[in-house]
Structures are given as C-alpha cells and as structure tokens.
Amino acid sequence: MRSRWPLDDADDLRDELLAAWDRPGYHDLRHLAEVLARVEELAAAGIGFGRMQVSLAAWFHDAVYDGERDAEERSAVWAERSLPSYAGEPVAAEVARLVRMTETHDPAPEDVEGCVLSDADLAVLACGQDRYAAYVAGVREEYAHLDEETFRRGRAQVLASLAERPALFRTDHARDRWEAAARANLAAELAALGGVGSAPG
C-alpha cells in the first residue's frame, strides 16, 4: 500500500491517511487498495489522465467516512488543507474537486480524471460473488445503527438509482469489462431486497 503513495517527502500525511482508512466496514484499507489497483488498471489500458491527481483523490475520497452526509466534503477539505505544502495549490484543488465528485459519481464525459476515479470506485459492483457479499456485509456494518427495514429500503433506493443509469461506468475499458457483471450484481441484490428484480441494460 505504501508503495502506491504518489508523493515524496509526505510520509506523515500518508500515514495519517492509512490510519484513517484502518476501520471496520466496507470503506476500509481493502477498498482503498482496490480503488488504487483499478486506477492503475485503467492507466495500463492506455487512458491518459493525471495519475498523481487521481491517485491522491483515491487516497482522500473516503478518508473521512462516518455515515454522515458531509463525509465527502470533509475529505475534500482535508485534501485542500494538507496537500498544498506537498503538491501545490493546483493539485490540491483538483484532488478536492475529484473527491467531491465521488458523492454523485456523475462526472462530465470530458472529465477524464473524474471518469477514471468514478469507475475505479464503483468497480466493486462488478466483483465476484464472494467479494460482492463481503462488500454488502461491510456496508451493512457501517449502517448498524439503522434497523433492518430502514436499511433495506435505503439500500434498495441507492441500487435502483444506480441501475437506472444508462451506464454505470464512463470509460470504454470499464464498460467493456465491468458493466455486465455490475448490472447482474445490482439486479440480484435488488431482488434479494424485494426491489426491482432486473436492472435496465
């Protein structure tokens, strides 16, 4: 994990972020590692984007995660406050912008960095059965304060909103490799929740 940190002479910040990610639930160190790996995969596929900015945004995007609605905003503010001395104001501003984008996962088509980060973050939707089950269990753990009915209703709304999108993924590489599997997983989970049984294609 430490080898994927893109900044020299910023080990203290890296370690603060690693400590923030070291928590139970889905948004943990495993999720961070998976997002970083998907960013690298998309780069290897030949997509041209600002790798430092996207990698840093991956490190920050769920660094603050406590179930509150402003978690992405607080993660973005952390980036804005901590990165300028290491990477400069323009990089800090771009990282913060990308972090805020992950609240909706709806980057503009021309926003290549946003598309890459969004695809990397949502790639878990396309994973195999065991990992998907662990992902769902991790999300449930993060919302343990909710009763089962409230959680299921809210989860179904989130999944249905995703399933209604014309495409979950924005890059050609992600759509070609992950879209079909992700839609199958969404449909299966929605059916298990008593929601819509099939996701639109």
Token pair recorded at residue 201: 């294609």
pLDDT confidence of residue 200: 30
Mean pLDDT by 10 residues, the chain (201 residues): 93 97 92 98 98 98 85 96 98 98 96 99 98 95 93 95 97 98 98 60 30
HSE, side-chain direction, 13 A CA sphere, residue 131: 11
Which residues are within 8 A (CB) of 142 and not within 5 positions of it... i.e. 6 or more apart?
25, 26, 27, 65, 67
What's the pLDDT at 65? 87
pLDDT value of position 15: 97
Number of C-beta neighbours around residue 26 at 10 A = 18
Q: Which two tokens stand for residue 110?
A: 């021309």
Domains and CATH numbers, the chain: 2-193 (1.10.3210.10)
Write out the DSSP string of 128-176. -HHHHHHHHHHHHHHTTTS-HHHHHHHHHHHHHHHHTSS-S--SHHHHH
Cα 10 to the center of its chain, rounded Å: 23
Confidence (pLDDT) at 66: 77
CA atoms within 13 A on the CB side of 11: 3
194 CB neighbour count, 10 Å cutoff? 10
